[in-house]
Structure 1
Amino acid sequence: MSRKLLGVVAFLTTSILVAITSSGNAKTSNYQQTCNEIAISGNVLSADCARLDGKFNKTSIVLLGIENIDGTLKQTDPTKISNYQFSCNYIHIEGNELKATCKKRDGTPNPTSITLNGIENINGVLKYTSSP
């Protein structure tokens, strides 16, 4: 094979690997394993989370990139603050699931949920450790 062809093959292989890993970089959140009193208020997740010394710390985090898309909670741009709370009611957390009843475009309510990804308890503080 020529050097040029090898370069193209290497580039394509690298591009495919980057696409596969970047689409799967959302790590399932595990904060609920070491936190209690987990609650949601609008787009703010709060909890009492264990620190390394065994004591608990009150902490909160603003959820990123979750929107109501025609009555369904969807992960969109992870750099933007979530805005689903403006068109959804009965917002609550069950395990690692954010659940709500959201309005569709026609105004009808729709029960929906989404798995929260990328949030961990880091020494008593809720943090994003991977893209949601």
Structure 2
Amino acid sequence: MKRNLFSILALLATSTLVWINSPASATPSSYQESCNNISVFGNVLSANCSQVSGSFKKTSIVLHGIENINGTLKVTDPGKVSNYHFTCRHIRIRGNYLEAACNRINGTTMWTSVVLQGIENINGVLKYISSP
């Protein structure tokens, strides 16, 4: 009986941690479907995005909430400006993924990626419509 109770508590604790690390309000970004020439410099995402009129407009947005946690890109605090670029290099965008080679605590470098969430093209302007 005690073993079953412990197993259930362990499962609940793990489930709670997974839920905390998965923002409920985050939605997959779709800006890449209506933008081209997408690039990233530091923590600024830039692109040429279509407007309702059919023309394209150069736009950019500062990425929020992404940090380098021991060589892994993670969304931690959507209220903060991303700081991963201080400890990562070879930063690039591939589809809806931000990829980089990031420093680890032990001095090695590791390739990592994170899905960009909540960024949309609103009439030629990149905007967050939900938390990253």
TM-score range, shorter chain: 0.7 to 0.9
The equivalences for 1:1-132 within 5 A come to 23-132=23-132
TM-score (normalizing by structure 1) = 0.83
Name which one, 1 or 2, has greater alpha-carbon Rg.
Answer: 1
Alpha-carbon distance, 1:112 to partner: 0.2
SS of the equivalent of 2:45 reads: strand
4+ long deviations beyond 2 Å:
none
Aligned length: 113
Identity of aligned residues (%): 60
Contact in 1 for aligned 2:60/2:126 (Cα 8 Å): yes
Q: In angstroms, what is the RMSD of aligned CA positions?
A: 1.5
Q: After superposition, what is the alpha-carbon deviation per residue over 1:94-119, rounded to whole angstroms, capped at 9, x for unaligned?
A: 00000000000111000000000000
Q: Report the secondary structure of 2:106's partner residue.
A: coil
Scaled by the length of structure 2, what TM-score is found? 0.83
Deviation of 1:30 after TM superposition, in Å, equals 0.1
- Segments of structure 1 that go 5 or more residues without pairing to the other structure are 1-18
User: Gaps (5+ residues) in structure 2?
Assistant: 1-18
Task: Return the offset for 1:67.
Answer: 0.2
